[in-house]
Amino acid sequence: AQRVTQPEKLLSVFKGAPVELKCNYSYSGSPELFWYVQYSRQRLQLLLRHISRESIKGFTADLNKGETSFHLKKPFAQEEDSAMYYCALSSTGNQFYFGTGTSLTVIP
């Protein structure tokens, strides 16, 4: 069965420090992995997806099939990065499975 695990509910880092939000998944096939971000009381927005291999707002994520991970990283955190981050897996291209989310706080 598909499963997405985000082990950290809360994560605090200082401005300018590196940040890594962890995501592990279980899926027997070839999944598509995504990161979504939700700023305070706003809708979820797609941050990035593994197949595009792009960097958005300084964030990157690499799919590690051996470790079944898709950790989100940014070398220098900014205050505006404070938000809720969700990792998601898509198995069929349509149905998505979300982790429980990590609330990131960047301390000035």
Partner 1 sequence: NAGVTQTPKFQVLKTGQSMTLQCAQDMNHEYMSWYRQDPGMGLRLIHYSVGAGITDQGEVPNGYNVSRSTTEDFPLRLLSAAPSQTSVYFCASSSVGSGYTFGSGTRLTVV
Is 59 near partner 1 (CB under 8 A)? Answer: no
User: Which residue from 86, 89, 104, 106 is in contact with partner 1, where contact means CB under 8 A?
Assistant: 86
SS (H, E, C) the chain: CCEEECCCCEEEEECCCCEEECCEEECCCCCEEEEEEECCCCCCEEEEEHHHCCCECCEEECCECCCCECCEEECCCCHHHCEEEEEEEECCCCCEEECCCEEEEEEC
Of 1 and 108, the one with the shorter C-beta distance to partner 1 is 1
* Minimum distance from residue 4 beta carbon to partner 1 (Å): 9
Q: Which is nearer to partner 1, 3 or 15 (CB)?
A: 3
Residue list 38-57, contact with partner 1 (CB under 8 A): 42-46, 49
- Is residue 95 a contact point for partner 1 (CB under 8 A)? yes
